[in-house]
Amino acid sequence: MKTVKIILDELDRRILNALQDDAAQTNQELAELVHASAPTCLRRVKRLVDGGVIARQVVLLDPEKVGASLSAIVEITLDVQASERLIEFEKLVATEAAVQQCYRVSPGPDFVLIIQVADMAAYHELAHRLFAQHANVRNVRSFFSVLRSKFETRIAV
């Protein structure tokens, strides 16, 4: 499948910025906000979705209000870094709902994970299941958030 690169113009950027603020607004509201007609806005959004620029639309929850108040940033170093072992670990953490993000990084550890759980007991259970029982995990280094001073999903366009 051939990927077509989408060139973003000023209207596309206004649409993307507005949707990053509130993806639940109606097409009419969006059109008024970006100073375009509703049909133009609808066409542009469809093009941005079809082109993969808009990956998906989601709702952001307050972790405290849904009982997931412990945030952990976890560095993982594997014993064996062969490609198939890295992929195996990525597949393992991809199935875990508490793992919100997984990055393969270099230099330093092999992976950095962002984890959101209810409390330390839940983290301990997850760490035991994902890391202690996994023979290829050599080192785990965890950092626990005491204050989230910034959280943003916006990408500057």
Q: Where are the domains of the chain?
A: 1-59, 63-144
At residue 137, the 3 state secondary structure works out as: strand
Tell me the mean pLDDT in the region 117-131: 97
Domain at 1-59: CATH architecture: Orthogonal Bundle (1.10)
Of 15, 8, 48, which Cα lies nearest the Cα of 30? 15
d(CA 14, CA 30): 10
Tell me the mean pLDDT in the region 2-11: 86
* Topology of the domain comprising 63-144: Alpha-Beta Plaits (3.30.70)
Q: What is the pLDDT of residues 73-112, one digit of tens each?
A: 999 999 999 999 999 999 999 999 999 999 999 999 999 9
The pLDDT confidence band at residue 2, using thresholds 50, 70 and 90, is low
Q: Is the pLDDT of residue 146 over 90?
A: yes
Q: What is the pLDDT of residues 8-60, one digit of tens each?
A: 999 999 999 999 999 999 999 999 999 999 999 999 999 999 999 999 999 99
Yes or no: say if 129 and 121 are a contact pair by the CB < 8 Å rule: no
pLDDT computed for residue 145 by the predictor? 97
